[in-house]
Amino acid sequence: MAATPKLAFLASETEKAKDALRRLVARYGNVPMEEADAIVPLGGDGFMLESLHRYMGLKRPIYGMQRGSIGFLMNAYREEQLPRRVALAQGYKLHPLRMKVLTLSGSRIQALAINEVSLLRETRQSAKIRIDVDGVIRLEELICDGILIATPAGSTAYNLSAHGPIVPLGSGVLALTPICPFRPRRWRGALLPHSAKVKFRILEAEKRPVSAVADYTEARDVVEVEVAEDRKVSLTLLFDPEHNLEERILKEQFGS
């Protein structure tokens, strides 16, 4: 990256983020996204995910700054010497999950997930899901509220709330975590190699409808969902060296 990188700023809809945008643009300017050395979203983790999806095709590194409620993927907000901070930041390359869905109506839908793909029951009745990993049925029938598969970067989000494991960066694994499992009662999920291809088959799909969500793209009334890491797509997140993503994920394992 250039010694003095050209920055493109964008902000969420909160007043705190919009005020930060005005101050930073007045201080450093604001180049078009296509000309930027780095993109700087101002907001929380939700806005960071939105920005990653929106500008994925530009292949620009992204250095987020915290102006929202949750900022696990964001750097601390400081206006001083921002180009220098961006130039010295550590980059982490992430590969999203690709979700391929077949619905009851016969529609086929694809979407990418940076955090996780989750399957969720749509009604009062529990879902019944068969799990296939690399062509082998590993679980004939999981009765549950749902199930998710998370990337290492996403393992501290919904996955952690569902009592799934935190997965360190570079571990080469994905977390497969059930959501309120009823049967098998003692099954608490699995760690899968990042190369795994997972297929979920919805049993009794009409009686027990299930939706599938890739980050914030939802497909309703699904009958089959395939999930695999897409190594052809990569995103680069930038973090200050003293508070990098690897350290954050490690620290989460010892937090209260």
Alpha-carbon distance 22 to 7, whole Å?
14
Active site residue 132: no
CA 105 to chain centre: 28
Express each pLDDT in 234-256 by its tens digit. Answer: 999 999 998 777 777 777 777 65
From 19, 45, 221, 240, the catalytic residue: 45
Residue 1 lies in a domain: no
Express each pLDDT in 188-231 by its tens digit. Answer: 999 999 999 999 999 999 999 999 999 989 999 999 999 999 99
Residue 2 lies in a domain: no
Alpha-carbon distance 41 to 30, whole Å?
12
Which residue range(s) make up the domain with 38? 7-94+234-252
Query: Any idea what the CATH number is for the domain that residue 53 is in?
Result: 3.40.50.10330
* Peptide bond between residue 209 and the one before it cis (omega within 30 degrees of 0): no
Express each pLDDT in 110-159 by its tens digit. Answer: 999 999 999 999 999 999 999 999 999 999 999 999 999 999 889 988 99
Alpha-carbon distance 121 to 73, whole Å?
28
Considering the domain architecture, whether residues 222 and 104 belong to the same structural domain is answered as yes
Considering the domain architecture, whether residues 149 and 219 belong to the same structural domain is answered as yes
Record the pTM.
Answer: 0.87
- Token pair, residue 121, equals 């029951």
